[in-house]
Chain A
Amino acid sequence: AQSVTQPDIHITVSEGASLELRCNYSYGATPYLFWYVQSPGQGLQLLLKYFSGDTLVQGIKGFEAEFKRSQSSFNLRKPSVHWSDAAEYFCAVGFSGGYQKVTFGTGTKLQVIP
């Protein structure tokens, strides 16, 4: 069965600093990988996704993520964090079956300090 591990429950960064959120997945074949963001009281918004091809993917709001098959990782990065990036971030894995059943990690809560 597919699974996702986000080892960092909570991360605090200063505004303007760089950010990296870690994600490791377990899946037997080439996965579909996603990063979603959730603001308090809101639903989830897709930041970016990887299906195939270039292992460095660009997303919205200046985020990017790199798929590393050898490490089973899909870490999310942003070079300069803004206060509005404070939210909870979820890594997720799906597969190219008949439908998009997606399994989520437990999330990383990002706090941005001035």
Chain B
Amino acid sequence: DTGVSQDPRHKITKRGQNVTFRCDPISEHNRLYWYRQTLGQGPEFLTYFQNEAQLEKSRLLSDRFSAERPKGSFSTLEIQRTEQGDSAMYLCASSPPRRTSRNTGELFFGEGSRLTVL
């Protein structure tokens, strides 16, 4: 049973460039979440997908951010015109369908994609 995988693990970019992160959730998990974690802070919720539908977006997700999950499997998070304030760890998590025996309430996290904007 492979875990949540994220790619790339590290990305260094110049201000103004676009970046895209990919998340592959655990295969039977239909729920997928993106969080952002800055230094010294806990993860902050960005957005949530159930299958391919994006059901909630945080106000933290400005119009420069877009997330997709086109086939209900992997997801991408794109940041356009990056700013230095976007430097953070972007964490993806997944969880199984709510009413299943495998749903223990746990979010399963990937190891994150660290973004540095110069």
Interface residues of chain A, those whose CB is within 8 Å of chain B, are 4, 9, 32, 34, 36, 41-46, 49, 51, 90, 92, 94, 98-107
Q: Which residues of A contact B110 (CB under 8 A)?
A: 43
Is the beta-carbon distance between A43 and B41 smaller than 8 angstroms?
Answer: no
Is the beta-carbon distance between A94 and B105 smaller than 8 angstroms?
Answer: yes
21 contacts between A and B (CB under 8 A): A32-B105, A36-B109, A42-B111, A42-B112, A43-B109, A43-B110, A43-B112, A44-B91, A44-B109, A49-B105, A51-B105, A92-B42, A99-B31, A99-B50, A99-B55, A99-B98, A100-B31, A100-B95, A101-B56, A102-B45, A104-B42
A94 to B50, CA, bound (A): 17
Q: Which residues of A contact B93 (CB under 8 A)?
A: 44
Q: Which residues of B contact A41 (CB under 8 A)?
A: 111
Q: Which residues of B contact A101 (CB under 8 A)?
A: 33, 45, 48, 56
Q: How large is the interface on B (under 10, 10 to 19, 20 to 34, 35 or more residues)?
A: 20 to 34
A98 to B93, CA, bound (A): 16
Shortest Cβ distance from A56 into chain B, in angstroms? 18
Interface residues of chain B, those whose CB is within 8 Å of chain A, are 4, 31, 33, 35, 40-45, 48, 50, 55-56, 91, 93, 95, 98, 104-107, 109-112
A36 to B93, CA, bound (A): 13
Q: Which residues of A contact B41 (CB under 8 A)?
A: 106-107
Is the beta-carbon distance between A44 and B105 smaller than 8 angstroms?
Answer: no
A106 to B40, CA, bound (A): 7
Q: Which residues of A contact B91 (CB under 8 A)?
A: 43-44
Shortest Cβ distance from A36 into chain B, in angstroms? 8
A45 to B109, CA, bound (A): 7
A45 to B91, CA, bound (A): 12
Is the beta-carbon distance between B107 and A104 smaller than 8 angstroms?
Answer: no
A106 to B50, CA, bound (A): 27
Shortest Cβ distance from B30 into chain A, in angstroms? 10
A41 to B110, CA, bound (A): 11
